[in-house]
Amino acid sequence: AMAGGARRLYRRLLQLHRSLPPALRDLGDRYVKEEFRRHKAAEPAEAQRFLREWEATLIQQQINEDKQNLREKAVYGIQLTEEKLNDFRDEQIGQLKELMDEATKPKKKITISKDSEYKT
């Protein structure tokens, strides 16, 4: 039952990401896949907590999506409370930092012109 529930939740999260802009979708999909892979062999208590947290994330994302449908400007993500952050392990805080860095790094624009041929 746990495996089937985890699989359904995993698929629902990835389906929800389809409405994101391509860069955010790619980032979100990679993050979800890595997290589920890391917790594949978790102890039952940790696995249940993991699934509960992702279920809460899914519900919050659906609420945000519904709100976005009512207004023009898209808003992504949720604000984490200090209590929730204090509950994270150091490894999870590091992952959040990596995710934030990836999500906020400037887009690189590469322009190629006919005049920029490599010359020796």
pLDDT one-digit tens code per residue, 73-98: 555 666 777 887 788 788 888 877 87
The predicted structure's pLDDT at residue 117:
47
What are the structure tokens assigned to 106, written together? 């400037």
The predicted structure's pLDDT at residue 33:
93
Tell me: pLDDT of 112 over 60.
no
Of 83, 109, 88, 87, the residue nearest 99 (C-alpha): 88
pLDDT one-digit tens code per residue, 8-53: 889 988 988 888 888 888 988 999 999 999 888 888 888 889 888 8
The predicted structure's pLDDT at residue 29:
92
Cβ–Cβ contacts within 10 Å for residue 118, how many?
4
Contact assessment for residue 59 and residue 14, using Cβ atoms and an 8 Å cutoff: no
Cβ–Cβ contacts within 10 Å for residue 13, how many?
21
Is pLDDT larger for residue 105 or for residue 21?
21
Q: State the helix-helix crossing angle for 2-17 and 22-38, rounded to 10 degrees.
A: 170
CA dihedral over 14, 50, 24, 65, signed as positive or negative: positive
Tell me: pLDDT of 116 over 50.
no
